[in-house]
Structure 1
Amino acid sequence: MATKTENNTATDKKLAVGNATVNENEMKNSSLHKFFVDSLKDIYFAENAIIDALEKMQEAATTEELKDAFEDHQLQTKKHVSRLEKVFKLIDEKPEKKECEAIKGLIKEAEEIIKSTQEGSMTRDAALIIAAQKVEHYEIATYGGLAQLAITMGHDKAADLLERTLQEEEDTDFNLTEIAETSINFDAEQES
């Protein structure tokens, strides 16, 4: 747990991180902090891109259940963007986007699925679920790693926010699996 302690000068703040005490300015200049901020910018770009992609996936989905799941996740993703902005503020950084090639590739793959599957088919829904879960797994890996880095660097409030988002991403992944397993995959298998 990080706690701030004041030295004699306002510019010489120390952070207690684990068993070590680190100068706050040194931490901001550390390569780990820079990587952490860079990764936040990456997922900030990704979450904003996912909002648009989810709208397209919702429109392309066949079943109301999947349409509703994509709509719910889009609303949740907007909350994730807002939460990331709070994380940036907590670590005294400006929210900025850094183009995320990984998410761009996953979104492109989802768009290809829409083009290559028959409109109104369960096969399209099954494929859209897989595409959405690939995005979820990227987010789960990212938020899990970021939360651990935040803990390591003593950004406890930021870690709590990141862990909350991580849990929501894991829940969404589970819900998508439930939708696939209860009917869509079986119905898709019956299509010719």
Structure 2
Amino acid sequence: MKTTESKNNTSKKETIERGVTKPKSNAASGLTELFEDSLKDIYWAEKALTKALPIMLKNASSVELKDAIDNHLTETEEQISRLEEVFKIIGKKATAKKCDAMEGLIEEAKGLLEETEIGVVRDAAIIAASQKIEHYEIATYGTLRQFAETLGLPEAATLLEQTLDEEKGADKILTEVAVNAVNLEAAEIE
């Protein structure tokens, strides 16, 4: 009887452990480390975005879309400076860690450029790809701001809130360009 119970307990334990991801040796063990790691991730993402936005700008046709992308490129450069300020606040050197999510979103955007004709259809694709990026950034900055508040870093929280507001504003502008012009013109091509 003990042998059967022992086997059942071992079997259940192994089943539970199979689905659990083993952490890396340098895995975050506290909120501060998770905050720092997330800052490195979005720092890489913003730097990568400064290289991707000019490509989207060159491929856009709509004046409104070009203006939105150009303005957001300037904002993104300011956001990088703001992130560097957050790193200073927490006493860390600003370092980047590859952001798999942003890399994937940028690659998807490049793919959409290849899959669309130049003009309003490509503009619609650029807006779609850009909004996916904005939504990722909104989620990230919202989380980082909350981490900063929880960790008692009000100055960092304020800087992250400012960037969060800019990302929400960029998303709103993209929606307006899509709804008021680009999507309507692209639909007329049908």
If the TM-score is normalised by the length of the shorter chain, which range does it land in? 0.7 to 0.9
Residue 60 of structure 1 corresponds to 59
Query: SS at 1:98's partner residue?
Result: coil
Deviation >2 Å, runs of 4+: none
- Segments of structure 2 that go 5 or more residues without pairing to the other structure are 1-27
Q: Displacement, 1:191?
A: 1.1
What TM-score, normalized to structure 1? 0.83
Compute the TM-score of the two structures, normalised by the length of structure 2. Answer: 0.84
- Structure 1: which amino acid aligns with 2:180? T
Q: Tell me whether 1:131 sits opposite 2:155 in the alignment.
A: no
**What is the alpha-carbon distance in structure 2 between the residues aligned to residue 77 and residue 130 of structure 1?**
18
1:140 to 138, 141, 164: 138
Written as runs of structure 1 = structure 2, the 5 A alignment for 1:1-192 is 31-119=30-118, 121-192=119-190
- Give me the whole-angstrom Cα distance separating, in 2, the residues matched to 1:116 and 1:185: 17
More helix by percentage: 2
Q: Cα RMSD between the aligned structures?
A: 1.0
CA distance in 2, matches of 1:191, 1:38: 46
Q: Provide structure 1 residue ranges, at least 5 long, that are not aligned to the other structure.
A: 1-28
Q: CA deviation at 1:30?
A: 5.9
Per-residue deviation, 1:145: 0.3
**Hey, what's the Cα distance between the residues in 1 that align with 2:99 and 2:115?**
25
Q: In structure 1, give the amino acid aligned to 2:163.
A: T
Aligned residues: 163
Task: Look up the SS of the partner of 2:52 in the other structure.
Answer: helix
Corresponding letter in the other structure for 2:116: T
User: What percentage of aligned pairs have identical amino acids?
Assistant: 49
Q: What's the secondary structure of 1:95's corresponding residue?
A: coil
